């Protein structure tokens, strides 16, 4: 699950386990989600300064329920792994700038 895109529910059929229970166990224990350094602000913004590059792209998108998000990506990565630099809830320039200013020069 760490390296390939499968869901806990998919494993239910292969290993004859309760997918719902395994999903909760994975989130709460195995994934380290509760110890994640961005957990307390993840609903407002995420920042991955290690992914920054010389050419950045900015895009706005609505993922679900009309919520708008601003995405900043590294164009050199060409949407592959480590292309995401920042995700900010909303589209206000001030909010995006405030998050990007957290990146060390």
pLDDT of residue 14: 80
Distance from C-alpha of 97 to C-alpha of 95, rounded to nearest angstrom: 5
What confidence score (pLDDT) does residue 1 get?
53
Split the chain (105 residues) into runs of 10 and give each run's mean pLDDT. 70 83 81 80 91 93 86 85 91 94 89
CA distances to 7, 8, 24 from 50, rounded to whole Å, are 27, 29, 29
pLDDT for the residue numbered 36:
80
Terminal C-alpha separation, the chain: 34
- The per-residue pLDDT for 34 is 79
**HSE-CB of 26 using CA atoms within 13 angstroms:** 14
Domain boundaries defined on the chain: 1-35, 39-100
Residue matched to tokens 């900043």 = 72
**How many whole angstroms separate alpha carbon 62 and alpha carbon 53?**
25
pLDDT given for residue 82 in this prediction: 82
Q: pTM for the whole thing?
A: 0.70
List C-alpha distances in Å: 82 to 42, 45, 52, 94: 18, 17, 9, 25
């Amino acid at each position: 699950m760490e390296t390939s895109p499968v869901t806990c529910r998919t494993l239910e059929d292969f290993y004859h386990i309760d997918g719902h229970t395994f999903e909760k166990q994975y989130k709460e224990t195995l994934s380290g989600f509760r110890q994640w350094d961005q957990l307390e602000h993840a609903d407002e913004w995420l920042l991955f300064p290690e992914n920054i590059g010389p050419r950045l792209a900015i895009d706005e998108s609505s993922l679900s329920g009309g919520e708008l998000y601003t995405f900043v990506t590294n164009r050199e990565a060409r949407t592959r792994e480590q292309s995401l630099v920042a995700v900010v809830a909303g589209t206000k320039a001030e909010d995006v700038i405030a998050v990007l200013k957290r990146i060390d020069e």
